[in-house]
């Protein structure tokens, strides 16, 4: 997180992310129903954006994302004081927990 906050993602990471997001969008439009198909995509945009035809706008938003904006967002949202780390370890294996963990016993 610190590296992302300081420098943002590298150009090749940005290109991979853009390509992956675009490919995911296209793949989701190739099936009609099921989990993640075209009907789910249209419904998602209808619920979240109020417009089932919002897909092209969303695609453009991903295509136009830049490293500087992601760095600023990481700096604002990925702060150390705003995160929770959870260790789930066997009762006898508390050494595997993250440093500073507080042990909680189920009731």
Q: pLDDT tens across 43-88, in order? A: 999 999 999 999 999 999 999 999 999 999 999 988 878 878 888 8
* Helix extents (H) in the chain: 2-7, 11-28, 38-49, 55-63, 67-77
d(CA 55, CA 76): 27
pLDDT at residue number 10: 93
Whether 42 and 52 have beta carbons less than 8 Å apart is answered as yes
Residues in the chain: 107
Rounded CA gap, 89 and 101, in Å? 11
Percentage of the residues of the chain whose pLDDT score is greater than 70: 100
56 vs 41: CA distance, rounded Å: 12
């Amino acid at each position: 997180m610190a590296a992302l906050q300081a420098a943002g993602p590298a150009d090749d990471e940005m290109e991979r992310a853009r390509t992956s997001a675009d490919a995911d969008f296209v793949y989701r439009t190739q099936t009609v129903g099921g989990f993640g198909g075209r009907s789910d995509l249209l419904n998602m945009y209808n619920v979240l954006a109020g417009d089932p035809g919002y897909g092209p706008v969303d695609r453009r938003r991903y295509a136009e994302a830049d490293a500087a904006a992601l760095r600023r967002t990481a700096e604002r949202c990925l702060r150390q004081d705003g995160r929770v780390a959870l260790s789930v370890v066997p009762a006898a294996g508390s050494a595997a927990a993250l440093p500073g963990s507080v042990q909680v016993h189920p009731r």
